[in-house]
Structure 1
Amino acid sequence: MALKKKSGGGGGANWMDTYGDMVTLLLCFFVLLYSMSTIDSSKWQAIVMSFNPMAAKNMTETPGGEGPSADADEGGVMEAQAEIDEDIEELFQAIQGYIQQSNQQSTITAAMDGGKIYISFGNTVFFSGESSYLRPEAEPVLDAVSEMLGAASESISEVRVLGHTAQGTPGEPNTVQRDRTLSSERATNVVIFIQEKNVIDPVKLISEGIGQWRPVATNDTSEGRAQNRRVEMIISGRDLQMEAEGVTTYYTTSYTTQ
């Protein structure tokens, strides 16, 4: 009886087809990885946003420009914030130097706290009596202040000017309309003077009339009332972290930008 020939199976090389497919896929995978490692920021963000538009909102390019990064460049932000803080400190020192040089320590005071500069101008520096018109003597002071603000304008978030009055008769509130109007007009006229110098973006200039309601001394004496009649200026330095989060914080209010 003749022996049957063993069949070769015809599929002995099938494993090579599978192996070849696998090697091809691996090659494609590594090519893809390589291309992603060298893609620029704009292309990467376009890819990510095609899947999820919100995912690429805070993405930034790495310092070397050789790949995407989902985290902000904290080192760069910190360095820029340090420069802003230094500008505000130098502005404060310049204001203090001006006060001493002009020998106006009794009528102008300045302090700094929490990245903000607080300046208080006595009533006689800018205005006379019940007037809201700037005195001629006020112009050199505001000229000097405007020049200093201009030098630090890029680092300033806001300049808020507040007008204050005194309670004319102890125990008897001022007439509401006159009190609010006078303090508002005084603050507004100071802001107008600075804005017309074109040294800082007008959006950063704010005026407020406080009236008699935030005294710093008693209204029972003429000396105390003289202290309460004043104009205050609050200069806020920029906060880059808050800006990155879309939040702008000022002296009395905060809001989220749209």
Structure 2
Amino acid sequence: MKKKSGGGEGGGANWMDTYGDMVTLLLCFFVLLYSMSTVDENKWKALVQSFNPNATPAETEIEAGDSHGPFAEANDKEPGVADPDVIKEALEAAQEAMQEQINQQVDQLYDQLKQYIEESGKNIEITKGDGYVFLSLVDTVFFYPDKYDMLPEGKALLDNMGPVLKAAAPAIDEIRISGHTAQADPNEENDPEGDRMLSAERAAQVTYYLQQLCRPTGDGKPGIEPARIVGQSYGQHRPIAVNDDEHRKENRRVEMTITGKDLGNKLGDAVEQYYTQREGGSLKEDDAGSSAPTEDDSGSAPSSSGQEG
């Protein structure tokens, strides 16, 4: 008997079964991906150990955008990125800690210099201000009248001060050496040219000696850069005593101002401020540091008579 042909047997819609299976697998795949993106750490460890009982639990790596670790700072605009305000606060805290360390080094520098001066019995005045140490060195230690050559006593004093200054070098912004003269006649000014040159020479002599003494040696030990040691000349124009025979020698002096670094100064340190001025930048009074313009900054000058008494 002839078999009837069945047009519908085998069905043209059987492909739907395969398609449905594929869609189900894709759905399971995306559900699995989603579940992994929000995995619970404890459940993940349990799953891993169920497959491998000998596995050693390890800390899971924190991804950007997570609510833990270094990306936990609240930042609504950019989740997973540290908040700029938090970064700013951290930098300010670090700067404050560094500034406190600098202040402590300046205090220690003052204490060591004061102790040395007291033990030596030298005629030196030392004071401490906010972020600086000030020393006044009279001629009985450094110079004879009308002379700028340093006496051996002056060199010996700087030799002892040098190691103390070098130890504090990371905290020192600038060392400013100021040269002064005494007025020979209380009723008549010194010769202006000779007066200025004599005080400039005195400042230059101390500046040069200190520069050679404190220069960085390249062996890893701290040193003071020559750019941070500055000499200047005042002549007779900033006396601290009357110019009579008894007190004149107090005006014949060299002064040293040691300034500590101020990390909060937006203009930078003394060297940076110099280049700011050179480029025509603004130095406001409330921001300017130790490198504000000073009268008659000078180095070495030709030998001449200051007509000093």
The answer on whether the counterparts of 2:182 and 2:248 sit within 8 Å (CA) in structure 1 is: yes
Which structure has greater strand proportion? 1
SS at match of 1:192: helix
The answer on whether the counterparts of 2:180 and 2:254 sit within 8 Å (CA) in structure 1 is: yes
Deviations 1:105-163 (A, max 9, x none): xx101000111111000112111121111111211101112211101010000000000
Identity %: 32
SS at match of 1:34: coil
Provide the TM-score with structure 2 as the length reference. 0.59
List gaps (5 residues or longer) in structure 2: 1-33, 38-62, 72-80, 216-222, 271-287, 294-309
Partner of 1:99: 117
Aligned partner of 1:234: which letter? T
SS at match of 1:241: coil
Provide the TM-score with structure 1 as the length reference. 0.70
Q: Residue 115 of structure 1 is aligned with which of 94, 119, 131?
A: 131
Deviations 1:207-231 (A, max 9, x none): 0010000000111x11221111110
Q: Residue 225 of structure 1 is aligned with which of 223, 248, 256?
A: 248
Deviation at 1:194, TM superposition (A): 0.8
Structure (1 or 2) with the larger CA radius of gyration: 2
Partner of 2:65: 34
Alignment: residue pair count: 198
Partners in 2 of 1:245 and 1:232 — Cα distance?
A: 26
Could you say what the CA RMSD is over the residues aligned between the two structures, in angstroms?
A: 2.8
Q: Which runs of 4+ in 1 moved over 4 A?
A: 37-40
1:236 aligns with 2:252: no
Deviations 1:172-201 (A, max 9, x none): 000011000000010011010011121311
Partner of 1:184: 200
Partner of 2:231: 207
Cα 1:141/1:246, change in 2 over 3 Å: closer
1:138 aligns with 2:154: yes
Partner of 2:77: none
Partners in 1 of 2:189 and 2:268 — Cα distance?
A: 41
Aligned partner of 1:84: which letter? I
Deviation at 1:68, TM superposition (A): 5.7
Partners in 2 of 1:126 and 1:237 — Cα distance?
A: 25
The answer on whether the counterparts of 2:179 and 2:234 sit within 8 Å (CA) in structure 1 is: yes
